[in-house]
Structure 1
Amino acid sequence: MRILSLLLLTLCIATGCCSQKKTDMTSTQIEYSAHSRGYYKTIVAQNKTVLVTKQRNAEPEKINIDDAKWNEIVAAYSKVNLDNLSALKAPTDKRTYDGAAIGNLKITKDGKTYETPGFDNGFPPKEIEKLVNLLVDFAKE
């Protein structure tokens, strides 16, 4: 009886660990952009690479992402509710009087695009803050 219980417990633990699916990011593109009259930045992440453009009409800089950083991005992305992305409210309104550039997060997954309304660059909504900050870190390097 003990052996049977031990085998069942081992089986349950093993299948529980294996059933945790990793978020599939192969067909997902995450784009963060911030712009104003004198400021421009676009960051596009897809398949462990990031393209950073810091000026209008400039060639993007390609950055390869290491596995640890990519896993952070995947973890932050998996917490984002794509269906509610268009309903997020900006915590501040500095962009309305040129106090901040207009930030925007756009996620394209399986051919469908999910996009936030504009928010102040540097002050994203709480629901996407971790993901946006991870992307912006690439433009600082």
Structure 2
Amino acid sequence: MKLLSLLILTVVFGKGCDSPKNQNMDAVVLEYTANTRGFYQQISIKNQEITVSNDRDNNKKLVPKKITDADWNELGLYFKETKLEELAQYKAPTEKRFYDGAAIANLKISYKDKTYESTSFDHGFPPKEIKKLVDKINSFVKKE
């Protein structure tokens, strides 16, 4: 009986260590970049602060802005739904970026000393698996 209990506890605690439900948003850096010939935008989110750059060369001093607790919690929920190991495999739903119909967008997530990057997709048309997360990231820019 003790052996069975020990096995069950090992499985339960072993599974919970690195599951998405335990992902800590304080250890996350989200970087969303969209660009084309005449447009550039980089959104960086870290520690409940956001910085937005429209300068390709990063010559301007960026001023971080605080993200509200409600928005931060919502962003955390969408992040927890994201399967980081599969991020590079998600397929873009449209291909407007191939003929300058949309800016080329990428999402880069740094978490626990690892970096996960999406394939390129059209700005405004992210893969369905990360749509909520990307839309939330872009909603912060629209509020400014």
Question: What TM-score, normalized to structure 2?
Answer: 0.80
One-letter identity of the residue aligned with 1:84: E
Determine whether 1:72 maps to 2:54: no
Q: After TM superposition, which residue ranges in structure 1, 4 or more long, deviate above 3 angstroms?
A: none
Deviations 1:100-141 (A, max 9, x none): 100000000111100000000000001111111111112122
Matches within 5 A, 1:126-137: 126-137=128-139
Q: What percentage of residue pairs aligned between the two structures are identical?
A: 46
Question: What TM-score, normalized to structure 1?
Answer: 0.81
Partners of 2:140 and 2:98 lie apart in 1 by 26
Aligned partner of 2:45 in structure 1 is 45
Deviations 1:62-119 (A, max 9, x none): 1101110100000000000001000010000000111110000000011110000000
**Secondary structure at 1:95 match in 2:** helix
Structure 2 regions of 5+ residues with no counterpart?
Answer: 1-20
One-letter identity of the residue aligned with 2:95: D
Match of 2:112 among 110, 113, 118: 110
Partners of 2:62 and 2:122 lie apart in 1 by 23
Which structure: larger Rg? 1
| Residues matched between the structures, number | 121
Structure 1 regions of 5+ residues with no counterpart?
Answer: 1-20
CA RMSD of superposed structures (Å): 1.2
